[in-house]
Structure 1
Amino acid sequence: MSTLRILALAISSLTLTACGGSSDSSGSDTYPDSYIQFYNGSANSANTTLQLIEADDDEIAIGSATFADATSLVTMEGGSYDLELNWTPASGETATVRTDKVTLADGEKTFLAMLGDFNSPELLTFKFSRDDELDDQFKVAMLDLVNNSNSYDLYISEDDQAFSDAKLVNSASYKGLTQFQTYDTGSYIFYVTKGGDKTVLFKSDAVTLSYETEYLLVLRSATGPSAGNKLALDLIGNTTSVTTLEDITSNAQFRIYNSMNNTGTGSVFLGDLTATPAIAKLPIDTLSAYTEVVAGDYRVSLTDDKGALVMRNGLMTLSQGAVKSVVFYQDANDKAAAITVTDSKTPQVYDFVFNAVNTIPDYDQVSLYFVKPGYTMENTAYYVTTLNYASQTSVTLPAGEYTMYVVHKDNNNNKILLAQTELTKLVSGSNYLLLAEKEQNSLSGFKLTLAK
């Protein structure tokens, strides 16, 4: 696939403190140093870097994290540090969104969580001692970053048990961390309820916790199209890989783009053609709104404006919480075909993550260029070198204005311009889909559509 260039732990004492707090930990043979990790819980944030500054002004980059992601666990010398949370705007100059102080102690992990509006974010600091006595065991706790008046209970069960067999880990309110509990390594299911209530609001799929370490579960509001009041759990260990646990009781969502020039207004059916269409009378070259359905495997069919069958028996698999787009198009044999892509559920604010789909059968592959004002295809930093026919790729662009081009390169690397968009400003909160298509009415015979 082409791409653009471009836990928790044994607690002898657990406190929520302001940055600059101190600890009396003296370390251990297993964990003699101090440790720090940064989690980005600000939904409208850019990719954010944590930097520590020593007394002699030496700067130490801990790492960077996008929303719902974390840095790896970094080993440090104990002591007091100034800190900065930085990001890089389109200008290329580093901008600081928050400064603070933090004190690190030997044998102790400091977990920093950024939350709130990225224009003026909060920074929570949690400190707890590393546990060097785990024996085929792990520890787990939950941090509540759901901004409401509710408290939430975290439950855990073995993967072959029901909620009635689950054990209460503990409770937390907004900005609070539960106490840590110890369990044998293995495969588990997590549940979330409102505090003191037994109605399950969130149920994860089974997840294997096999390391003798401490895990944090961050409870937050789900993001993505029509997220509503849904919840998400981010599982954080000691690496930069954060696993977002999906609620297996949640529905899925899909939308349709109709690139079938000979269908007129098309209708899309899931399963039985005699049922009410899931999406009715969708005009040509139009992207529908998202439709919410129960998760599952669906037979997808398309009819034309007269009700005649254009395509049948397409397969669309929608897992719990999935968000997908389906593109209907005419293939090289002039028959109906479909491409299904998985849409990003990240907030589209500073960075836009979307799919590009190539339905042009005339060439085996094309290239895409995303050009800001004042730049050209020769010096833009944003491009896709190779996008094969009937394929898709994920694109990430920083906020701004772009003219987008689809180009074919011959064997001598000569470029043929097939189509381009107007200069377009990416609109915050939009879930885009970029399509390279045939177009009989254009001078070139092709077009490039940025739909949302």
Structure 2
Amino acid sequence: MRDKLIRPTKSRTFELLFLSALMGLLSACGGSESDSEADYGAIKFYNASSNSPQMFFTIDEDLDDEDDDALEATYSYIGYGEATATRDLDNIDYFLEVAWQSDDSSSRDDLTIVHETEVSIEKDQLSLFVLNGDISNSSLIQYNLPIIDDDNDDDEELFNFSILNLHNQFDSLQLHVSLANETFNEAMPVTQFEYQQLSDNQKLDQEEYIFYLTLPGDDEVLFKSDSVNFPYANQYLLMIKPSNGVGESAFSLDILSWSSYLNLENYGESGKFRVYNGIETHDLLPDYIGQISTMFTTIGDEISVDSLAIGEFSDAYAAQRGDYSINLTASETEQPLLSNHLVTLSENVFKTVFFYLSEENVDHDGDGDVDEDGDGFVDEVEVKIQSMVVENNLNESLYQHNMQLLNLVNDDDYPSIRLYFVRSDELIETAQHWRTAWFATPTEINMSNNTYEVYAVAQDDSSDIILASELLVLDETSLNQFVLLESDETSGSGYRMTFTNQNP
């Protein structure tokens, strides 16, 4: 039986109101997938390599057997801190491959293999495979743990979990738990666990909990989770790994259920934001001559960004978790340009707020005709200042890099622009990597290390128009990028394309 590529189920960090519902859903899904009375074991893969590209995990019953009855399943695009669903398997031997897509094809035969191994699946045992360490010298570690299916857990309303410490800067850690309405003062120590050693199974009452990490015998809290509800008698894995966020905590916590995963950052951790001024000067904005000042306001906190010129990014500002109201003024005249726009900053995230101008044709009578006098020109336009909030991608990979494409070209003639990433043996029409960027709508593409000629191409009736082109070199030292498309009266084409690090 051959399977298609399978993408992992992704559950991102949510606000407190959604956590209980989400974990309840994951638990309910998980409980139906395991059947310990059948002659099965199970397998799961988790990516703990922080600078890895998105990985592929293949299970193959027989490398030499092309028969459709032989199991061959590939789980695809498994990023840092992500896991496959747990898969039930017959109690036989399997070949395993961990690989990444270094070329255009995602076919198994074209992947770059990082690890190959074999596994003997045992009845009622979960074989957990963890990719750990720098991807250029990574290790694939196997852990075996019993699949817990105790009838008493349902009767006594208990759930099960084990802990794995994958933070190489901490040889030993202590886990504490409290109920959701308690603090660390009421928390009880659960277990001490060592680096790369899977803890014994633990049982707790089915409740809503907060998790804390300390050093053994210490009361200083190094990590505190948001509250998580565990309403079912299921089995979980708690994975402690280094945080790649912008806050001060060294830890993040991934909770793996049978079918999915949930990432938790240090609760209350600060985040960061910065601002980009993409607002063009315009005859209808006489008070704006090229600089903006921005005020971010939340309960108990205000942050101001002053005198930011066109085409510039501000510095990055640390800010507490919360919901912020944005007010924008023209720096020279203090004329309001925008007010009460929302940006929400969660723990450990870095967001960039792009301000830009949009022109809209005025249709006073609502009949859809914006050229009432029939002279071939729009009778009247109005301008608006808008904000676009983009979350920066902080997962820095050695071999692949995230490109967030942002089209700020406000031109009715070019409602969308295609960006082509052209390699040395390609032309625009043969380029394998491209995306369509609509106005003020972020899109993204992951690019492997190489040298590219990047072209921004728009369509005018039957003609293709090159608006801008730039050279892009990506290597192991490169960072994730914003690719900005904007109007520019000083350039020969009237447009420009710029590249900026997402995490400066």
Structure 2 length-normalised TM: 0.75
Task: Specify whether residues 408 and 185 from structure 1 end up closer, same or farther in structure 2 by C-alpha distance, changes over 3 A only.
Answer: farther
Indicate whether 1:106 and 2:135 are aligned.
no
Partner residue, 1:424: 472
Task: Specify whether residues 392 and 54 from structure 1 end up closer, same or farther in structure 2 by C-alpha distance, changes over 3 A only.
Answer: closer
- The one-character-per-residue Cα deviations of 1:144-200 (angstroms, maximum 9, x if unpaired) are 111114422222233222222333231212112222212333432222222222222
Partner residue, 2:184: 163
Moved more, 116-125 or 302-311: 302-311
Shift of 1:327: 0.7
Task: Specify whether residues 264 and 233 from structure 1 end up closer, same or farther in structure 2 by C-alpha distance, changes over 3 A only.
Answer: same
Mapping for residues 36-435 of structure 1, pairs under 5 Å: 36-54=43-61, 57-58=64-65, 60-64=72-76, 65-90=78-103, 92=105, 93-133=110-150, 134-135=153-154, 136-224=157-245, 226=246, 229-239=249-259, 241-262=260-281, 263-271=289-297, 278-304=304-330, 306=332, 308-309=334-335, 311-313=337-339, 314-332=341-359, 333-363=382-412, 365-373=415-423, 374-385=425-436, 387-409=437-459, 414=462, 416-417=464-465, 419-426=467-474, 428-435=477-484
Does the Cα contact within 8 Å between 1:31 and 1:132 map onto a contact in 2?
no
C-alpha distance in 1 between matches for 2:63 and 2:438? 53
- The one-character-per-residue Cα deviations of 1:382-433 (angstroms, maximum 9, x if unpaired) are 3334x443322333333333333334446x6x35435223121235452322
Relative contact order higher in (CA < 8 Å, ≥ 6 apart): 1
Q: Tell me which amino acid in the other structure corresponds to 1:286.
A: E
Partner residue, 1:11: none
Task: Specify whether residues 221 and 445 from structure 1 end up closer, same or farther in structure 2 by C-alpha distance, changes over 3 A only.
Answer: same
Moved more, 112-121 or 41-50: 41-50
Moved more, 359-368 or 242-251: 359-368
Which structure has the larger Rg? 2
Shift of 1:366: 0.4
Structure with greater helix percent: 2
Shift of 1:130: 1.1
Does the Cα contact within 8 Å between 1:367 and 1:383 map onto a contact in 2?
no
Q: Tell me which amino acid in the other structure corresponds to 1:212.
A: A
Does the Cα contact within 8 Å between 1:369 and 1:380 map onto a contact in 2?
no
Flag structure 1 segments of 5+ consecutive residues without an equivalent. Answer: 1-26
SS in 1 for 2:102: coil
Shift of 1:380: 2.8
Q: Tell me which amino acid in the other structure corresponds to 2:326.
A: V
Does the Cα contact within 8 Å between 1:369 and 1:405 map onto a contact in 2?
yes
Does the Cα contact within 8 Å between 1:141 and 1:169 map onto a contact in 2?
no
Task: Specify whether residues 162 and 228 from structure 1 end up closer, same or farther in structure 2 by C-alpha distance, changes over 3 A only.
Answer: closer
Q: Tell me which amino acid in the other structure corresponds to 1:396.
A: N
SS in 1 for 2:185: helix
SS in 2 for 1:375: coil
Q: Tell me which amino acid in the other structure corresponds to 1:66.
A: G
Does the Cα contact within 8 Å between 1:436 and 1:447 map onto a contact in 2?
yes
Partner residue, 2:25: none
Flag structure 2 segments of 5+ consecutive residues without an equivalent. Answer: 1-33, 66-70, 282-288, 360-381
SS in 2 for 1:421: strand
C-alpha distance in 1 between matches for 2:52 and 2:173? 25
Does the Cα contact within 8 Å between 1:369 and 1:377 map onto a contact in 2?
no
C-alpha distance in 2 between matches for 1:220 and 1:67? 10
Partner residue, 2:284: none
C-alpha distance in 2 between matches for 1:174 and 1:425? 38
Identity %: 26
- The total of aligned residue pairs comes to 419
Task: Specify whether residues 264 and 415 from structure 1 end up closer, same or farther in structure 2 by C-alpha distance, changes over 3 A only.
Answer: same
Does the Cα contact within 8 Å between 1:142 and 1:172 map onto a contact in 2?
yes
Q: Tell me which amino acid in the other structure corresponds to 1:176.
A: Q
SS in 2 for 1:430: coil
Task: Specify whether residues 29 and 257 from structure 1 end up closer, same or farther in structure 2 by C-alpha distance, changes over 3 A only.
Answer: closer
Q: Tell me which amino acid in the other structure corresponds to 1:379.
A: T
Does the Cα contact within 8 Å between 1:266 and 1:302 map onto a contact in 2?
yes
Task: Specify whether residues 289 and 30 from structure 1 end up closer, same or farther in structure 2 by C-alpha distance, changes over 3 A only.
Answer: farther
Task: Specify whether residues 184 and 31 from structure 1 end up closer, same or farther in structure 2 by C-alpha distance, changes over 3 A only.
Answer: farther
C-alpha distance in 2 between matches for 1:29 and 1:392? 46
CA-based RMSD: 2.9
Moved more, 118-127 or 188-197: 188-197
Does the Cα contact within 8 Å between 1:34 and 1:109 map onto a contact in 2?
yes
Task: Specify whether residues 394 and 371 from structure 1 end up closer, same or farther in structure 2 by C-alpha distance, changes over 3 A only.
Answer: closer
